[in-house]
Amino acid sequence: VGANDYGMLGDGTTTNRSTAVVVSGITGCTAISTGFHHSLFLLSDDTVKSVGNNGNSQLGDGTTTNRSTPVEVSSVSGCTAIAAGTNHSLFLLSDGTAKSVGANWEGQLGDGTTTNKTTAVAVSSVSGCTAVAGSGSSSAFMLSASVKSVGDNGSGQLGDGTTTSRLTAVAVSGIAGYTTNASDLA
């Protein structure tokens, strides 16, 4: 329900809706995350589908084509959690690694570059990951005993004691042995 100008409601149209509509082709959904104009769906078979604005490749289907019906995210299998930033998407895999796709102008994909990615890439310096979170042009990763973050840091949001944006994940200061739910990272 709501705005649908990029097809992010997934009903095959770009018509705004004032009542709920069924998302086409989504069954066995275990989690949902939404970005600025895109939506992610984690399915029970540990794959991910996405829909909506794809101008920065945040849908992860290898294109920049907007989608009004969900498409499968390429290069992501064994996924256990999802998170959407404004124009990027994050995926936690069952082996404790993380992948990311989409806009990367502030380094929010954590691959050491500022180049947008059309298919999911591994997040550098993140292993033993238990949760992912995306916000604006930043990303956060909960590890077994710490939290790391990457991307835009203009207001100190990465928590590393600086306002320097980062291209690879850095430890959040003052957090050790931290355990929580993924929703606490949002």
Collapsing DSSP to helix, strand or coil, 90 comes out as: strand
| CA separation for the pair 121, 50 (Å, rounded) | 16
pLDDT in tens, 20-46: 999 999 999 999 999 999 999 999 999
Q: Which residue has the tokens 């390429």?
A: 74
| CA separation for the pair 95, 141 (Å, rounded) | 14
pLDDT in tens, 58-116: 999 999 999 999 999 999 999 999 999 999 999 999 999 999 999 999 999 999 999 99
